């Protein structure tokens, strides 16, 4: 049996409404990537989507909800791309490789969305002044830490503090991505390969 209401009692959006919301989210990401977070007004987003500002107000409570959705949807799509590749790896080293390589590859294929996500995460505040995405990096570090711990238990990796190393790996990927964000001509694929080689030599047992 189907219902027009969601589990929380709210009316489910129709297919047309879902399509319109997706259009607005895409326009918001394009606008932020093009003009920057500080200059991305609802008016500009509406113009890019070729709709009136009132249409945005109908579908979203305000800029906070819209930009939060830009980021959370990008996070979800990135993880969907990464997850299967990580789980398909049969070793901890393979999972680390798949983590870094698949994340970088997805970002590379979606540069505008990546630029928008980065700008929003760095700049956006909730109405109460808090940073709405502050927990995302901690979750990423925790998940990568578990992979490194598994590699140590299986004898693949040498002795090190897994959380510190997970943090360093993520910081290194951010460094490569930061350079690419500033200059699209940076060889992202080549730098990813160099980074993976560096990580591999840093964490494996000497006899491997």
CATH architecture of 15-203: Orthogonal Bundle (1.10)
CB 165 within 8 A of CB 117: no
Whether residue 77 has pLDDT greater than 90: yes
CB 177 within 8 A of CB 103: no
Whether residue 13 has pLDDT greater than 70: no
The CB density around residue 146, as the number of other CB atoms within 10 Å, is: 15
Whether residue 72 has pLDDT greater than 90: yes
Task: Give the DSSP per-residue string, 98-109.
Answer: HHHHHHHHHHHH
The reported pLDDT for the residue numbered 92 is: 97
- Report the alpha-carbon distance of residue 205 to residue 167 in Å, rounded: 20
Report the mean per-residue pLDDT for the chain.
90
Binned at pLDDT 50, 70 and 90, residue 12 comes out as: low
- Across 81-90, 145-154, 161-170, 198-207, least confident range: 198-207
Which residues, listed in sequence order, are joined to residue 77 by a DSSP beta bridge?
Answer: none
Which residues, listed in sequence order, are joined to residue 11 by a DSSP beta bridge?
Answer: 5
Binned at pLDDT 50, 70 and 90, residue 18 comes out as: confident
Three-point CA angle 105, 110, 111, nearest 5°: 100
User: Measuring CA to CA, which residue among 25, 173, 162, 172 is closest to residue 105?
Assistant: 173
pTM of the model: 0.84
- Report the alpha-carbon distance of residue 151 to residue 145 in Å, rounded: 10
Q: Chain centroid to CA 132: how far?
A: 14
CB 33 within 8 A of CB 113: yes
The reported pLDDT for the residue numbered 129 is: 84
Binned at pLDDT 50, 70 and 90, residue 2 comes out as: very low
**C-alpha to C-alpha distances, 65 to 26, 70, 146, 195, nearest whole angstrom:** 14, 9, 32, 36
In the chain, what is the greatest distance between 2 CA atoms, to the nearest angstrom? 64
User: Measuring CA to CA, which residue among 144, 26, 40, 126 is closest to residue 77?
Assistant: 26
Q: What is the mean pLDDT of residues 202-207?
A: 83
- Report the alpha-carbon distance of residue 25 to residue 207 in Å, rounded: 50
Whether residue 6 has pLDDT greater than 80: no
């Amino acid at each position: 049996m189907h219902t027009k209401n969601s589990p929380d009692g709210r009316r489910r959006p129709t297919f047309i409404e879902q399509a319109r919301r997706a259009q607005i989210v895409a326009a918001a990401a394009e606008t932020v990537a093009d003009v920057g977070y500080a200059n991305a007004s609802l008016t500009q987003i509406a113009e890019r989507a070729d709709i009136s500002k009132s249409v945005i107000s109908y579908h979203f409570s305000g800029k906070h909800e819209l930009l939060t959705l830009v980021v959370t949807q990008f996070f979800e799509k990135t993880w969907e791309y990464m997850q299967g590749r990580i789980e398909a790896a049969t070793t901890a080293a393979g999972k680390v490789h798949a983590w870094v390589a698949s994340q970088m590859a997805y970002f590379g294929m979606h540069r505008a969305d990546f630029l928008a996500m980065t700008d929003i995460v760095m700049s956006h505040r909730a109405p109460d002044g808090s940073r709405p995405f502050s927990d995302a990096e901690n979750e990423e570090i925790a998940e990568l830490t578990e992979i490194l711990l598994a590699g140590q238990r299986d004898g693949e990796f040498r002795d090190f503090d897994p959380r510190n190393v997970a943090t360093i790996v993520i910081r290194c990927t951010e460094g490569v991505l930061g350079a690419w964000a500033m200059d699209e001509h940076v060889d992202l694929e080549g730098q990813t390969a160099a980074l993976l080689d560096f990580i591999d030599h840093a964490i494996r047992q000497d006899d491997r």
